[in-house]
Structure 1
């Protein structure tokens, strides 16, 4: 087997491994971004815990087909970058979408979340979901509110009884 084919097979295996580990995979078109803008984007993605790569579309298509993600192949045209989210499902979409708001050259094309193929519009909807930590804080706040109200009510009843007995 020639060396070039071995390198390509190794890249396909690497892409497949990243796709299998990822909770969310977001494809974006980055053509027109300057080097400084691309560096800024990579920094923001790194801070969000997202891995950002550019691979040959043909190799990504081979990996996607092997994993049963045939629906994503149609989005692999032109210069496409891939953001892999391993921990937070919404982090890649949110970070790319926030960056795209100020840099019109970046376009969200598609994504794979929990095995489902998302088009660009669904990826933008996914980006609107707050981070996991914010959702957990809201959940805890909603659980805590009734308990706090009950404690305030008991305290008010105690204060009222004390004021009645003092009279």
Structure 2
């Protein structure tokens, strides 16, 4: 059923507003997409905060001109859909590029990037770049890499310190054993050394006493 003039004006107004607010726009031919594929694509667009619109080429052209872009959508082949990226400039082309890898029924036609109308080859090149979310993940990983390395170093130092403490804690026990055995041996040796001279002294004193006794018992002769 043909759209009325009021309906067309409403569509053009909405599309013009989308062009003005978009960080980037990607145009694609979506002929042949299955219902499931179309639903999957729309879900990916919603998750990335991308507004996807399908409209007649004449209405897209008029809306783009109202937004300040000298675009002729009639140059595009097939059925044209427009993906308006609100936050991530790469997301519209990235999602369409990923879908194009999975199915031959999506073809990137061109787009608008950094306020300029961009040809097909440039948009295809943009579709191969990482998305803003992927770039954030790479940046976070780069930022935390030195921190994780530092943490590994600290952990290695802690483990080395603990091993050293365990070694030091075991040393007094072995030294105590050595000290326990030493007192038992040393007095025995000292006793042997002390007793030996005592026995000798007794032996030396015995002859002296016998000689003195004999001298006392002797009777002087006249």
TM range (shorter): 0.7 to 0.9
Corresponding residue for residue 130 of structure 1:
130
| More off after superposition, 31-40 vs 77-86 | 31-40
Corresponding residue for residue 10 of structure 2:
10
**Kindly tell me: are residues 136 and 6 of structure 1, through their superposed partners in 2, closer, same or farther at Cα, counting changes over 3 Å?**
same
SS in 1 for 2:4: helix
More strand by share: 1
Post-superposition shift, 1:11? Answer: 1.4
Q: Which structure has the larger Rg?
A: 2
- Does the CA contact (< 8 Å) of 2:61 and 2:71 recur in 1? no
- Does the CA contact (< 8 Å) of 1:57 and 1:77 recur in 2? no
More helix by share: 2
**TM-score after normalising by structure 1:** 0.77
| More off after superposition, 92-101 vs 43-52 | 43-52
Post-superposition shift, 1:63? Answer: 1.1
**TM-score after normalising by structure 2:** 0.60
The alignment's C-alpha RMSD in Å is 3.0
- Does the CA contact (< 8 Å) of 1:53 and 1:82 recur in 2? yes
**Structure 2 CA distance for aligned equivalents of residues 57 and 76 of structure 1:** 8
Unpaired stretches in structure 1, ≥5 consecutive residues: 157-162
Residue 33 of structure 2 is aligned to residue 29 of structure 1: no
Corresponding residue for residue 202 of structure 2:
none
Bigger RCO of structures 1 and 2 (CA < 8 A, at least 6 apart): 1
Q: Deviations over 1:105-141 (max 9, x none)?
A: 2100011122111222211211122122332333344
| More off after superposition, 98-107 vs 69-78 | 69-78
- Does the CA contact (< 8 Å) of 2:58 and 2:74 recur in 1? no
Q: Deviations over 1:39-81 (max 9, x none)?
A: 2222222233222111111111011122232145354443101
Residue 50 of structure 2 is aligned to residue 54 of structure 1: no
- Does the CA contact (< 8 Å) of 2:52 and 2:81 recur in 1? yes
**Structure 2 CA distance for aligned equivalents of residues 48 and 137 of structure 1:** 15
**Structure 1 CA distance for aligned equivalents of residues 42 and 12 of structure 2:** 22
**How many aligned residue pairs are there?**
165
